[in-house]
Amino acid sequence: MPVIAVIGAQWGDEGKGKIIDLLAEKVNMVARFSGGNNAGHTVVNPYGEFAMHLVPSGIFYRHVTCVVGNGVVIDPAVLLEEIDQLKKRGVEVDKLFISDRAHLIMPYHILLDGLEEEARGGGAIGTTRKGIGPCYMDKVGRLGIRTGDLLQRDTFRDRLRSVLDYKNRILTRVYEAQPLSLEEIYDKYCRYGEQLAPFLRETDLMVEQALERGEMVLLEGAQGTMLDIDFGTYPYVTSTATMIGGACSGVGLSPVRIDRIYGVFKAYATRVGSGPMPTELFDDTAGLIRERAHEYGTTTGRPRRCGWFDAVVTRFSARVNGFCGACLTRLDILDTLPSIKICTGYRLNGEALTRPPSNSALLAKCEPLYEELDGWQTDISRLRHLEDLPPQARSYVRRLEELTDCPINIISVGPRREQTIVVKAIL
Ligand code: GDP
Ligand code: IMO
Ligand code: MG
């Protein structure tokens, strides 16, 4: 039975939550492998509408085991609140498990995320200020505290004391902020530890055992390839490997176990926060898309920057991740437009480019080269078969496939599960 991964191909918010909730029906396990509550995955299903930040979007099926892998960073307050809300709304969480190796977001991470952003001034990244970057910095800097550490109270206290001593020196001496109290954090996190204990497991072993039983595992990507720490628009990126490589280290899975990798493409482009976005629009079309699609961040409420589909970006994503297919979301959002542009290449200093330059300053200077297609100007949100799509919409989809060099398996025409056209089944 296969392991299948679903990865964001653009700058996040491609509609991964909808796709995971749709595909999860046919799997046994869904695992998150990277990021934290910077993610906001919207799921609309018979239970209602949910913004999932840490709990995998497969939680709505009784038969699905959900794993938050070691590569995820966890703000315990957010996770416990999310679990609580799910339970209140009738969603069972008894098959949710959290890696005991996952790093914890501590109060100083959240504080430092804000202070570092302020210090960057005009060069701010536009982070979600959830403490993600500082937490991963501590993980790599070997200053992190992990979920499992909370269960060993004596050693946790000693560890927290030494880390906090260092963090307080940074807070007070570099940022002239108030120091944090060891006792307060210790008590609070010990309580979190008690509440999290029933969920904590060696989740890599659970994944391994699921595969030994011949079960199907779905890997739920967070953020998007252009936010990847290595291949994204550095430094305007998140602090993790958002691409397929992150899935292996983030759940403890050998790359040879992953059978198929699918990208999620939004039918146009959006981005939250700073950094280059060659196809960004500043005209009425941007406003039209933003309002029609309600393009405001699921996590922070910030308006998302909107622009035309950038096939340079998706072709790059398809190659670096090895997509065998894609899910195209939000095609219905383009319903009202008389014509639609696709970016097919860039021009930089008179030279034509077919892949994004690695340097963000150069990417910011790239002029997008467009191809213009006719719009379909009809409501497609009720259509369920490829043949029923207006010819202009089919041409648009076909052109995206050609330019991206990646077949489209699923076309999403609305936020709900049933608003889906299956071109070629994934499962
Ligand atoms: P994610 O972070 O990749 O899961 O994406 P978000 O949830 O942040 O943003 C995607 C938004 O698009 C959510 O509001 C979804 O409910 C919505 N959505 C997903 N697919 C479709 C679609 O095909 N059509 C429309 N109109 N909305 C969609
Ligand atoms: P999902 O999983 C869109 C962006 C932030 C910022 C940059 C760094 O919902 O697609 P961070 O807080 O991670 O240090 O911020 O990354 N960002 C996202 N943008 N969707 C996301 O997640 C994002 N997660 C982080 O806006 O530009
Ligand atoms: Mg999102």
Is 131 a pocket residue for ligand 2 (Cβ < 6 Å)?
Answer: no
Percent of the chain with pLDDT over 70: 100
Is 232 a pocket residue for ligand 2 (Cβ < 6 Å)?
Answer: no
Q: Give 293 Cα–ligand 2 centroid separation in angstroms.
A: 18
Average pLDDT, whole number, for the chain? 98
Q: Give 164 Cα–ligand 3 centroid separation in angstroms.
A: 32
Strand partners, 262: 6, 325
Percent of the chain with pLDDT over 90: 99
State phi, psi for 75 to the nearest 5 degrees. Answer: -90, 110
Alpha carbon distance 402, 315 (integer Å): 10
- Rounded average pLDDT over 330-348: 98
Q: What is the pTM of this model?
A: 0.98
- Rounded average pLDDT over 44-58: 98
pLDDT tens digits, one per residue of 358-372: 999 999 999 999 999
Alpha carbon distance 244, 9 (integer Å): 11
Q: What is the DSSP letter of 171?
A: I
Ligand located closest to 43 CA? 1
Is 40 a pocket residue for ligand 2 (Cβ < 6 Å)?
Answer: yes
Instruction: With a cut of 80, say whether residue 339 has pLDDT above it.
Output: yes
Instruction: With a cut of 90, say whether residue 110 has pLDDT above it.
Output: yes
pLDDT tens digits, one per residue of 52-90: 999 999 999 999 999 999 999 999 999 999 999 999 999
- Reported as a pLDDT band with limits 50, 70 and 90, residue 407 is very high
Q: Give 21 Cα–ligand 3 centroid separation in angstroms.
A: 14
User: Which residues contact ligand 1 via a Cβ below 6 A?
Assistant: 8, 12-18, 40-42, 44, 298, 329-330, 332-333, 412-415
pLDDT tens digits, one per residue of 141-183: 999 999 999 999 999 999 999 999 999 999 999 999 999 999 9
Task: Point out the residues that are catalytic.
Answer: 13, 41
Alpha carbon distance 390, 386 (integer Å): 9
Element (H, E) at 111: helix 107-120
Determine the pLDDT at residue 315: 98
Of 329, 333, 416, best ligand 1 pocket probe by most atoms within 8 Å of the beta carbon: 329
Ligand located closest to 380 CA? 1
Tokens representing residue 358 in the block: 């690695």
Q: Whose CA is nearest to atom 6 of ligand 1?
A: 13
Is 276 a pocket residue for ligand 2 (Cβ < 6 Å)?
Answer: no
For residue 133, which atom of ligand 2 is closest to its CA?
14
Q: What is the DSSP letter of 89?
A: T
CA distances from 259 to 7, 138, 228 (A): 14, 33, 22
SS3 assignment, position 162: helix
Determine the pLDDT at residue 300: 87
Q: Whose CA is nearest to atom 20 of ligand 2?
A: 12
Q: Give 168 Cα–ligand 3 centroid separation in angstroms.
A: 33
Is 12 a pocket residue for ligand 2 (Cβ < 6 Å)?
Answer: yes
Confirm if 239 and 251 have CB atoms less than 8 A apart: no
Determine the pLDDT at residue 217: 98
Is 227 a pocket residue for ligand 2 (Cβ < 6 Å)?
Answer: yes
Q: Give 112 Cα–ligand 3 centroid separation in angstroms.
A: 23
Q: Domains in the chain, start-ordered, CATH in brackets?
A: 3-99+200-261 (3.40.440.10), 103-196 (1.10.300.10), 266-422 (3.90.170.10)
- Reported as a pLDDT band with limits 50, 70 and 90, residue 298 is confident
The residue assigned the tokens 């719009």 is 375
Instruction: With a cut of 70, say whether residue 1 has pLDDT above it.
Output: no
Ligand located closest to 296 CA? 1
For residue 38, which atom of ligand 2 is closest to its CA?
24
CA distances from 16 to 22, 65, 263, 310 (A): 10, 18, 9, 18
Is 113 a pocket residue for ligand 2 (Cβ < 6 Å)?
Answer: no
Instruction: With a cut of 90, say whether residue 28 has pLDDT above it.
Output: yes
Q: Give 270 Cα–ligand 1 centroid separation in angstroms.
A: 11
Is 58 a pocket residue for ligand 2 (Cβ < 6 Å)?
Answer: no
